[in-house]
């Protein structure tokens, strides 16, 4: 029997509803600037916030210094925690309490 298929759209939509809380947890040194969360990139020796931003309305994120970018909370989790997309989706679904419906 194969593992249930992850519903990435559902996970991302649910994550968008609590994105400011997720960002505060994942990037605690960041701060809100308008509709963006601006933080240091924890994956590199980033000394000050500015080049790593997450659009909290759309979930799009980018590190303008390195070119790393993504379009949703799952890709952000995968990047921040060095996970494959499926593993990031599963962990995010669990964190969001989606269980079997993810």
Reduced to 3 states, what is the DSSP secondary structure of residue 92?
helix
Tell me how far apart the alpha carbons of residues 25 and 29 are, in angstroms, rounded to a whole number.
9
Q: Which domains does the chain have, with CATH numbers?
A: 8-96 (3.90.580.10)
Q: Give mean pLDDT in consecutive 10-residue pieces for the chain, a chain of 102 residues.
A: 76 96 95 95 79 95 92 98 96 87 48
Query: Is the entire prediction scored with pTM above 0.75?
Result: yes
Tell me how far apart the alpha carbons of residues 35 and 61 are, in angstroms, rounded to a whole number.
12
> Under a CB-based contact definition with an 8 Å cutoff, are residues 19 and 59 in contact?
yes
> Under a CB-based contact definition with an 8 Å cutoff, are residues 57 and 64 in contact?
no
């Amino acid at each position: 029997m194969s593992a249930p298929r992850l519903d990435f759209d559902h996970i991302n939509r649910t994550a968008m509803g609590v994105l400011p809380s997720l960002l505060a947890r994942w990037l605690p040194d960041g701060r809100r600037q308008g509709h963006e969360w601006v933080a240091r990139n924890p994956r590199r020796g980033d000394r000050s916030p500015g080049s790593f931003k997450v659009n909290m309305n759309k979930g799009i994120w980018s590190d303008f210094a390195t070119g790393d970018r993504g379009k949703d909370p799952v890709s952000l989790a995968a990047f921040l925690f060095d996970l494959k997309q499926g593993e990031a989706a599963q962990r995010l679904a669990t964190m969001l309490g989606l269980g079997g419906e993810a």
